[in-house]
Structure 1
Amino acid sequence: MNEFFAYGEKVPSYDIRVLNEREARAAAAILFVGAFLGLVNGVMLGTAVFSKYFVTFFAIDFTLRVIQPRYAPSLLLGRFFVRNQTPEYVGAVQKRFAWALGMVLAWPMFYYLVIDFQPNPLKVLVCLICMALLFFEAAFSICLGCKIFGWIKRKDPKYCPGGVCEMNIKEPVQKFTPAQAAITVLTIVVMVYGIYAYFTKLPDKTMFVKKMKVLMMSDAELQRIEDAKADAEFEADDF
């Protein structure tokens, strides 16, 4: 019974309980795809049905991760896809803290998107932050919650993703030459400007921008637009 409630797996040669980072990354990728599909459905089709189901799954999944990750659905799906890969073990305690942060974000989103559906810019921003965190973990094995855990504890936790807690010296292949650094910075600047230009230089010229503007509006703003349309139609009928 004690082993049932024990958090993480006991692996020989590791002095603390650990989890499989490959499994966690695969699960993050699966959830990112789900969140992206929900965003696309909301923006392009104007429906939040998929998002409501996904947010419900997301909240339950992260709650199970915090209680006992052995039974979290997304982690089990991730395990299926990486079952033939050599495990990469990371400390369970920092992953639990990171997933607890995800759970804290998930349940308010569940209430405001499923129970009391009231989309607004803040809620959309929270969804985008969740997507960014999932993407960073899936693509780069960067666990921001784990880093926050380290700052709170004021010392690096053991067995971080990619071995960043134990690595003190970078290999030559991990370092940037001045030319590589300049190209990287320029790439980031161009990407940021491209995103800015897309949303500001092309106002209302794409369906995506139009949908995003509507999605960002409050109920009061949407009601004012509807009232203005009704008034315009009423005046047109008078003529």
Structure 2
Amino acid sequence: MNLKSFLWEYGEKVPGYDVTVINEREARAAAGILGILGTIIIFVGIGFNHIIAARVYLAFLWVDFTLRMISPKYVPSLLLGRFIVQNQKPEYVGGLQKRFAWTIGWFISLPMVYWFVLNWDITFYKVLICVLCASLMFLESAFSICVGCMIYKAITRKDAQYCPGGVCEVRIKEPIQTFNPLQKVIVALAMTGLIAGTYLFLAYEEPKTFFGEFLHEAVLTKAQLQKEKDAAYQQQLDNEFGDD
């Protein structure tokens, strides 16, 4: 393989396509596999302080993305995805924008290797990087939204070919894809409810795990935290001296 083919012919050559392509169904399946594993690690591994589980997963994630930048042929998660969707009709997308997106994933995973694999040092903002990575994989697996592909198009200033879901094609939405005013209100209320509900749960429910306490403190202001500590201290005093 020469340098030119390595840089500009990422993926497979399929008859009828002008560029090398990736099977999007495999990519989405792989993203789903990595995403659900990442979610389990965040809420169970880190939540119960099982450091080894997080370290193994994040090391695997970095290796997986490293292999993706080189070639998609021998990437463990993509091969698992192929096994799962092998009986489904392939959906081909351009290879170069997928490589660019996966390169972004590699850069996101790189600091996580240092923070959590080589030098365990957990903070709220570092965990947000993990959440970002899991969110990008969720968007790809659930909605076929490739954020990296969109960034690729914006940087190169040219239309990418064969994007996931056909988002690179200029087209008019069909009636079933549009929203009437009532539907827009329902979407807005649903999104507001999800955000508000998540905040209220994290802020006011008593945390049961290390990670739960971590998130609880993260969503509160310093004044709220101090008020909470004062209330806990007062409760302790009442318990000790209330009968005197």
**TM-score category (smaller protein):** 0.7 to 0.9
- Measured after TM superposition, the shift of residue 215 of structure 1 is 9.6
Asked whether 1:148 is paired with 2:123, we answer no
Aligned counterpart, 2:190: 187
Return the alpha-carbon distance in structure 1 between the equivalents of residues 80 and 13 of structure 2. 21
Task: Flag the 1:84–1:76 CA change in 2: closer, same or farther, 3 A.
Answer: same
Residue 161 of structure 1: which of 152, 157, 164 is its match? Answer: 164
1:85-110 deviations in whole A, cap 9, x for unaligned? 00000010100000000001112211
Report matched runs for 1:5-20 at 5 Å: 5=6, 6-20=9-23
Residue type of the alignment partner of 2:30? A
Of 174-183 and 76-85, the range deviating more from structure 2: 174-183
1:59 corresponds, among 39, 57, 62, to 62
1: CA distance, partners of 2:5 / 2:199: 50
Partner of 1:47: 50
Letter in 1 for 2:174: E
Distance 1:105 1:69 in 2: 19
Q: Which residue of 2 aligns with 1:221?
A: none
Cα distance change of structure 1 residues 4 and 16 upon mapping to structure 2, 3 Å threshold = closer
The two structures, once aligned, show a CA RMSD in angstroms of 2.1
CA distance in 2, matches of 1:4, 1:157: 18
Q: 1:215 to 1:60 in 2, by over 3 A?
A: farther
2:95 corresponds to 1:92: yes
* Whole-angstrom CA distance in 2 between matches of 1:28 and 1:200: 31
Aligned twin of 1:76: 79
The one-letter code of the counterpart of 2:55 is K
- Report if aligned partners of 2:203, 2:216 keep a CA contact under 8 Å in 1: no
Cα distance in structure 1, aligned partners of 2:189 and 2:216: 29
Q: Report the Cα distance in structure 2 between the residues aligned to 1:205 and 1:87, rounded to whole angstroms.
A: 45
Q: Secondary structure at the match of 1:69?
A: coil
Query: Counterpart of 1:235?
Result: none
SS at match of 1:38: helix
> What do residues 24-69 of structure 1 show as CA deviations (whole Å, max 9, x unaligned)?
0000000011101111223442212111000010000000001001
How many pairs are equivalent?
Answer: 215
Cα offset, 1:213, TM superposition: 5.2
Q: CA deviation at 1:112?
A: 1.3
What is the Cα deviation at residue 13 of structure 1?
1.0
Residue from 134, 142, 166 that aligns with 1:139: 142
Query: In the aligned structure 2, how far is the partner of 1:4 from the partner of 1:77?
Result: 26
- Matched residue of 1:19: which SS? strand
What is the DSSP-based 3-state SS (H/G/I as helix, E as strand, rest coil) of the residue aligned with 2:168?
coil
- Given that 1:17 and 1:91 are in contact with CA atoms closer than 8 Å, whether structure 2 keeps it comes out as yes
SS in 1 for 2:61: helix
Is the contact made by 1:120 and 1:215 (CA closer than 8 Å) also made in structure 2?
no
Aligned to 2:213, which of 205, 210, 213? 210
Aligned mate of 1:124, from 123, 127, 138? 127
Identity of aligned residues (%): 47
Partner Cα separation in structure 2 for residue 150 and residue 4 of structure 1: 21
